[in-house]
């Protein structure tokens, strides 16, 4: 391993004159000084789409035969731009700064993993990325303005319980953001945190004691919300202009002040903290199921569809590979058995109570008798009877030679004309 690192940094030393104090560590080019590194470029052009950013890098000085370690504190401007094949990025908790356009052109980047221990998310860090969901670890205390702005595919966000500051515009333009999960232990919801977000439901944990002004203002899809009894302070216009908000369950203590929150009497349902009420409990149950479907053995439509498709594919492969295990047969097996059945009947008609024309000499159908002559022709012998009283009958014999009936047909029958 030492030889690999040594060769890499001997190669890196060739860049130091042209690019300043820059070094190569595995696939990363970085600036390093006083034990702190800023990653400026990613060298790998191919891979499985997963990028794990190191928390530490090193350089080698071949003149003194010394290795120098650096903690990765920053990701530079455009450091990962132009990699459309990148699907997932894991950011270490040592990072405190991410430059502008760091992920521009990463059109397949749907997953960002933030390592627990990360202290903060800076302004604009993930703006415009096609990420679909993100979990903000409990170590994060602040989220900068526009951190996720323009992430039009972002559908769900989980916010850790140490967040004390979310700046304005953090989620602006997140037109698919319908689900926000607040981790229990979160002490407060700050001013304007979720203003204008198209969230459809949100559960406020019992740890929250205050809701800032304009916190949910202008939420176009929020229909109902329960404010737990732990909340003792709500800022002005906290729910103003939430266009379809129909039910806000408030502790009775807010019975004379709810209008300050941008609410009308038609929207507010006051409850006694000792008796939340059937409707509120019903809504709370709904929200719990929607927020945590897997804990109720339920799945989202996407999960169901993915599992169904995967199961269907696996099932087809299993059945087609081992059809006899499922009492099924391939088309070839079916065809072979069908043909074998035909041949068995043709070859052994007597075992199936069937007879060929050569076996038939006299075949009676009622009073009709069909007699096969030596030359292969048939004579139809029959009697016609007449009666006046249905008890006594006069018999008239008759016969008719059938000379055009082929003798090489396997079966013969007499059928009344319709």
Residues 299-354 pLDDT 10s: 667 667 777 777 777 777 777 777 777 777 777 877 888 888 888 888 887 777 77
Q: How far is the C-alpha of 190 from the C-alpha of 204, rounded, in Å? A: 13
Domain assignment present for 232: no
What is the domain extent for residue 76? 1-109
* pLDDT confidence of residue 348: 80
Q: Span 266-277, mean pLDDT?
A: 81
Q: Is the pLDDT score of 5 beyond 60?
A: no
What's 115's DSSP letter? P
Residues 367-410 pLDDT 10s: 566 777 777 677 777 777 777 766 787 877 766 666 666 666 66
Contacts from 197-205 at CB under 8 Å and sequence distance 24+?
197/171, 198/174, 201/225, 201/286, 201/287, 201/290, 201/291, 202/287, 203/284, 203/287, 203/288, 203/291, 204/228, 204/231
Domain assignment present for 71: yes
Q: How far is the C-alpha of 216 from the C-alpha of 26, rounded, in Å? A: 46
Domain assignment present for 301: no
Contacts from 404-408 at CB under 8 Å and sequence distance 24+?
405/377, 405/378, 407/357, 407/376, 407/377, 408/357
Domain assignment present for 354: no
- Name the 3-class secondary structure at 7: helix
Q: How far is the C-alpha of 24 from the C-alpha of 14, rounded, in Å? A: 10
Residues 211-260 pLDDT 10s: 999 999 999 999 999 999 999 999 999 999 998 999 999 999 999 999 99
Q: How far is CA 285 from the centre of its chain?
A: 24
Neighbours of 233 (CB within 10 A): 10
Q: How far is the C-alpha of 167 from the C-alpha of 73, rounded, in Å? A: 22
Domain assignment present for 250: no
* pLDDT confidence of residue 331: 77
* pLDDT confidence of residue 349: 78
Q: How far is the C-alpha of 412 from the C-alpha of 355, rounded, in Å? A: 9
CATH number at residue 32: 3.80.10.10
Q: Span 40-44, mean pLDDT?
A: 86
> Lowest mean pLDDT: which of 23-27, 130-134, 178-182, 273-277?
273-277
Residue ending a domain, among 69, 85, 109, is 109
Looking at the chain, the whole-number percentage of residues with pLDDT higher than 90 is 48
- The more confident residue out of 124 and 356 is 124
- The more confident residue out of 136 and 20 is 136
Helices (H) and strands (E) in the chain, counts: 5, 25
Q: Which helix (H) or strand (E) holds 6?
A: helix 2-13
Q: Is the pLDDT score of 296 beyond 50?
A: yes
- Name the 3-class secondary structure at 271: strand
Residue 245 contacts residue 200 (beta carbons within 8 Å): no
Domain assignment present for 285: no
Residue ending a domain, among 89, 109, 129, is 109
Neighbours of 52 (CB within 10 A): 12
* pLDDT confidence of residue 57: 94
Q: With bands split at pLDDT 50, 70 and 90, how would you rate the model's confidence at 2?
A: very low
Q: Is the pLDDT score of 183 beyond 80?
A: yes
State the total domains in the chain. 2
Domain assignment present for 96: yes
Q: How far is the C-alpha of 103 from the C-alpha of 79, rounded, in Å? A: 7
Residue ending a domain, among 64, 85, 109, is 109
């Amino acid at each position: 391993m030492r030889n690999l690192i040594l060769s890499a940094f001997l190669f890196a030393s060739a860049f130091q004159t042209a690019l300043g104090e820059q070094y190569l560590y595995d696939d990363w080019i970085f600036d390093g000084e006083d034990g702190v590194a800023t990653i400026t470029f990613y060298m790998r052009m191919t891979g499985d789409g997963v990028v794990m950013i190191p928390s530490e890098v090193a350089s080698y000085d071949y003149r003194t035969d010394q290795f120098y370690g650096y903690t990765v504190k920053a990701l530079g401007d455009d450091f990962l731009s132009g990699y459309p094949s990148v699907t997932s990025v894991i950011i270490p908790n040592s990072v405190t700064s991410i430059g502008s356009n760091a992920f521009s052109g990463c059109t397949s980047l749907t997953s960002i993993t933030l390592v627990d221990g990360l202290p903060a998310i800076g302004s604009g860090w993930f703006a415009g990325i096609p990420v679909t969901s993100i979990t903000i670890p409990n170590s994060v205390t602040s989220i900068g303005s526009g951190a996720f702005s323009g992430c039009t595919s972002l559908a769900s966000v989980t916010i850790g319980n140490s967040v004390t500051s979310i700046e304005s515009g953090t989620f602006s333009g997140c037109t698919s953001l319908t689900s926000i999960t607040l981790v229990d232990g979160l002490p407060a919801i700050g001013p304007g945190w979720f203003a204008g977000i198209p969230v459809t439901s949100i559960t406020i944990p019992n740890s929250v004691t205050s809701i800032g002004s304009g916190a949910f203002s202008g939420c176009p899809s929020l229909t109902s919300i329960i404010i737990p009894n732990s909340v003792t302070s709500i800022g002005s216009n906290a729910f103003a202009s939430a266009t379809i908000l129909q039910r806000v369950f408030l502790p009775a203590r807010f019975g004379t002040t709810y209008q300050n929150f941008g609410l009308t009497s038609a929207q507010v349902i006051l409850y006694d903290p000792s008796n939340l009420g059937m409707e509120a409990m019903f809504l709370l149950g709904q929200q719990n199921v929607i927020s945590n479907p897997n804990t109720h053995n339920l799945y989202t439509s996407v999960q169901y569809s993915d599992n169904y498709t995967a199961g269907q594919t696996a099932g087809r492969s299993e059945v087609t590979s081992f059809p006899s295990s499922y009492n099924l047969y391939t088309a070839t097996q079916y065809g072979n058995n069908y043909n074998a059945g035909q041949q068995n009947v043709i070859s052994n008609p007597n075992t199936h109570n069937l007879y060929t024309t050569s076996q038939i000499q006299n075949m009676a159908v009622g009073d009709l008798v069909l007699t096969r002559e030596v030359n292969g022709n048939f004579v139809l012998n029959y009697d016609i009877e007449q009666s006046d009283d249905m008890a006594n009958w006069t018999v008239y014999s008759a016969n008719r030679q059938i000379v055009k009936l082929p003798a090489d047909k396997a079966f013969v029958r007499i059928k009344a004309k319709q």
